[in-house]
Amino acid sequence: MASSLFSGECTFVAAVQTLDRLPPASLSEIAFAGRSNVGKSSLINAMTKRKALARTSHTPGRTQQLNFFKINDAFLLVDMPGYGYAKVSKKMREDWSKLIRTYLRGRVTLKCVFLLVDSRHGLKDSDIDMMKMMDETAVPYRILLTKCDEIKKADYDTTLEDVKETLKKHPAAFPEPLLCSAHKRIGMDEIEFITKSVI
């Protein structure tokens, strides 16, 4: 059934730029991460059936904060700040790394990170850096290949094989990436199923 876990009550909990502002660790958390423009806000909005829970934007790289939403009193959904945007200053990049690394390391309630990767582009160096951080902090993660409505099957198969090969070297990664599209609502049930099984 389509997204009943995600589509109930949803409340904004906090926008966090420094870790002393983290909401208390209570409910299980799942987080969405990825490069700017990968389709993260669109996917979160499609999952929760909200038009603007997470802000979709054509100007990437602006939000450097972790946004926490409480879903159905069942779990917290965390919208992580996008990375990999070229125009971001070195200082901002360093602040981002510090925030994310500390969050990943210290958050016992964080059960799974969905790492979004554009299916048309495959893994970038910045994705690999993010994956290394999650390996080091032993946070389980699953790759979601986004915008699959825009890619031909043959191209997708190539990306999929590349990603799977890379994942073999990353101990905290689930070995099989998941194909999805926010626009066509592909992969939504699987994301819900995975969430249910970890929270």
Indicate the SS3 state at residue 198: helix
Please check whether residue 5 is in contact with residue 74, taking contact to mean a CB–CB distance below 8 angstroms: yes
Which entry of ligand GDP, Mg ion, none binds 97, CB below 5 to 8 A by partner kind?
none
Tallying the residues shown for the chain, one arrives at 199
84 near ligand GDP, rule: CB under 6 A: no
Helices (H), 107-152: 125-136
CA dist 48 → 169, 195, 197 (Å): 32, 13, 18
Query: Given candidates 30, 31, 33, 41, which one binds ligand GDP under the rule CB under 6 A?
Result: 41
Which entry of Mg ion, ligand GDP, none binds 182, CB below 5 to 8 A by partner kind?
ligand GDP
**146: how many CB neighbours lie within 10 A of its CB?**
29
Separation between Cα atoms, residue 80 and residue 72, nearest integer Å: 20
149 near ligand GDP, rule: CB under 6 A: yes
- The minimum distance between CB 25 and Mg ion, in angstroms, equals 24
185 near ligand GDP, rule: CB under 6 A: no
182 near ligand GDP, rule: CB under 6 A: yes
- The minimum distance between CB 50 and Mg ion, in angstroms, equals 13
Which stretches of the chain bind ligand GDP, using CB under 6 A? 34, 36-42, 56-58, 60, 82, 146-147, 149-150, 181-183
